[in-house]
Structure 1
Amino acid sequence: MNVDLHSHSSRSDGVLPPAQVAARAHAQGVDWWSLSDHDETSGLAEAAAAARELGLGFIPGVEISVTFCEQTVHVLGLNIHPEQPDLQTGLAGIRQIRFERARGIAARLQDCGIAGAYEGALRHVDNPQLIGRVHFARHLLEQGHCKSLQQAFDRYLGEGKRAFVPMRWPDLASAVAWIHAAGGKAVIAHPGRYRYTPQQFDALFDAFKAQGGEGLEVVSSGHTPAQCDRYARVARAYGFEASRGSDFHAPHIPRTELGRVPQLPDDLMPVWRDWV
């Protein structure tokens, strides 16, 4: 069974509307799919309706930004009830933080001699509440200030660069609590992306387990085979259920295409076992 529980639409930092992401998942042979936009659930109704028409299994999700050991970590909430009040209040607070950061990025780009960056980034945003660094990167690329999105981060938007604005997201315990209040399971997304020491990773997994976190995204488009093996071992050691996701944002990026990541190891318990 082809299950992909991590993807994004234009309601956050993806480029396709939710219904088009559903259509692409179906065309790529996905059987069960989750839309998990950053800190936003407004695309889930459209996604669910499109999935029903296509005969595509759908699991409503969200990807929540948290701060742990001074770094940003993403926690997936899977099979949530999107309108649950605690979840919506928490996400609204994060969106306000994102708005304030966007204003700060624009001001720093202005100091770099790049005027009108906020308005330019808005041209690439379907949901103004979710304006983020990738939208500024698309504006910088469009205006010729860089030759690729990666170069925009390397020159301006990446950590420590001239237009980088550090963030203080909610803590890990809050995100897990919001997900559980909404009836979902909490899953640490793409752990291979975090630049932690072994001791910090142990602290992350220990805290997540203690707070009732259920899962780990073992297979992700951003993971090397060695990392998939490493996080499969972590899942076994902690008793985490395992998830699988492409982290799809846009077409024509082969490594993040929907439904194309490797299958989970056979001995791991899939996080979707009770839903599919």
Structure 2
Amino acid sequence: MSQVSTPLLTRYDLHSHTNASDGNLTPVELVERAIEMSINILSITDHDTCDGLIQARDYILENQRPIELINGVEISTLWENIEIHIVGLNFSVSANSMKNLLNEQSARRLERGQEIGRRLQKAGIDDAWENAVKLSGGGQVTRAHFAQHLVQIGKEKNINKVFKRYLSKGKTGYAPAQWCSIQDSIEAIHAAGGVAVLAHPSKYQLSNKWLKRVIAHFKECQGDAMEVSHCQQPPHEKQFLAELAKTADLRTSVGSDFHRPCSWIELGRNLWLPDDTQAVWTLWNDVKTD
């Protein structure tokens, strides 16, 4: 496969987050930052919710902002006791299949968050759940909100250290997730007229053997595409993931997984597709706006 990038006349970023889940920016702020970064087509893919997406779409339409928004969501799933994220793109937000799945996921997230709070309480950290809820600002409560609180009260200097000490598997505040299956997520996305994308496969820290296994399972479940390009990534990794996608007959996608302004991850940065790949956006003709 050629090392030369496929030129994208249109700048895409199909994986980003707002404060409707674990991002720091409001939907309006994210849209304006994307425009500032010369993004033409953006997808907001908050964790198990479309609330930020809906707010962003209303803002774009009311203010005639020069950007196209693709409906998106990032769904947490479990496979072989490993948390795998599936991004849904260009689906109907109003579809019952999607609304039902996200309601179920929100209930699971609530239960898990409360359990994390109970476990931290037993470890002598009071009111962690209540403070995580406050930090979420009414959005989905994630482990990142617990980590922010623990940094604020001085338990560790940064979020990564909090995760390593308190919130990762086997640690004091870790509670196992009870997410839906990969197949359930894909079926809901397809029933809503959308496209299912395997998110950031290199971030799961799997061996090549296990990475190929999860990709094969994703394909068996009728998955459509795989993210092969993100910000912090050497060119050879893009090429490797693109080869895996091609072997599995999957389209390819690009996404920064932007959560907050920082020096190493930015909307649209370093997002390109290797040659000989088929982009995920070739799977849709019309962009859904409901």
Q: Deviations over 1:145-172 (max 9, x none)?
A: 1100111101111122111111121111
Aligned to 1:25: 34
Q: Distance in 2 between matches of 1:225 and 1:108?
A: 42
Match of 1:163 among 141, 153, 173: 173
Name the aligned partner's letter for residue 149 of structure 1. Answer: I
Determine helix, strand or coil for the equivalent of 1:187: strand
Give yes or no for contact 1:188–1:216 (8 Å, CA) kept in 2.
Answer: yes
Determine helix, strand or coil for the equivalent of 1:16: coil
1:65 counterpart = 2:76: yes
Aligned to 1:136: 146
Aligned to 2:23: 14
Give yes or no for contact 1:5–1:34 (8 Å, CA) kept in 2.
Answer: yes
Aligned to 1:266: 275
How many pairs does the alignment contain?
Answer: 274
Give yes or no for contact 2:18–2:26 (8 Å, CA) kept in 1.
Answer: yes
Residue 199 of structure 1 and its aligned partner are, at CA, apart by 3.3
Match of 1:228 among 238, 250, 262: 238
Q: Distance in 2 between matches of 1:197 and 1:265?
A: 22
Determine helix, strand or coil for the equivalent of 1:193: helix
- 1:90-109 matches, within 5 Å, as 90-109=101-120
Q: Deviations over 1:227-261 (max 9, x none)?
A: 2221111111112111000001111x132211112
Residue 44 of structure 1 and its aligned partner are, at CA, apart by 1.9
Q: Distance in 2 between matches of 1:238 and 1:12?
A: 31
Q: Distance in 2 between matches of 1:103 and 1:3?
A: 37
1:54 counterpart = 2:71: no
Determine helix, strand or coil for the equivalent of 2:180: coil
Give yes or no for contact 2:230–2:256 (8 Å, CA) kept in 1.
Answer: yes
- 1:202-241 matches, within 5 Å, as 202-241=212-251
TM-score, with length taken from structure 2: 0.90
Name the aligned partner's letter for residue 195 of structure 1. Answer: Q
Residue 19 of structure 1 and its aligned partner are, at CA, apart by 1.4
Gaps of 5+ in 2: 1-9
Q: Distance in 2 between matches of 1:171 and 1:250?
A: 28
- 1:240-259 matches, within 5 Å, as 240-251=250-261, 253-259=262-268
Residue 23 of structure 1 and its aligned partner are, at CA, apart by 0.7
Give yes or no for contact 1:190–1:222 (8 Å, CA) kept in 2.
Answer: no
Determine helix, strand or coil for the equivalent of 2:196: strand
Give yes or no for contact 1:192–1:223 (8 Å, CA) kept in 2.
Answer: no
Give yes or no for contact 2:212–2:244 (8 Å, CA) kept in 1.
Answer: no
Q: Distance in 2 between matches of 1:139 and 1:82?
A: 32
1:154 counterpart = 2:154: no
Aligned to 1:201: 211
Aligned to 1:190: 200
Name the aligned partner's letter for residue 153 of structure 2. Answer: Q
Give yes or no for contact 1:77–1:186 (8 Å, CA) kept in 2.
Answer: yes
Name the aligned partner's letter for residue 129 of structure 2. Answer: Y
**Which of structures 1 and 2 has the larger relative contact order (alpha carbons within 8 angstroms, sep 6+)?**
2
Q: Distance in 2 between matches of 1:247 and 1:205?
A: 19
Name the aligned partner's letter for residue 12 of structure 2. Answer: V
Q: RMSD of aligned C-alpha atoms?
A: 1.5
Give yes or no for contact 2:45–2:73 (8 Å, CA) kept in 1.
Answer: yes
Name the aligned partner's letter for residue 263 of structure 2. Answer: P
Determine helix, strand or coil for the equivalent of 1:145: coil
Determine helix, strand or coil for the equivalent of 1:54: coil
Residue 222 of structure 1 and its aligned partner are, at CA, apart by 4.8
Q: Distance in 2 between matches of 1:202 and 1:265?
A: 19
Gaps of 5+ in 1: none
TM-score, with length taken from structure 1: 0.95
Give yes or no for contact 2:19–2:136 (8 Å, CA) kept in 1.
Answer: yes
Residue 50 of structure 1 and its aligned partner are, at CA, apart by 2.9
Give yes or no for contact 2:238–2:274 (8 Å, CA) kept in 1.
Answer: no
Q: Distance in 1 between matches of 2:58 and 2:33?
A: 14
Question: How much identity, in percent, do the aligned residues show?
Answer: 35
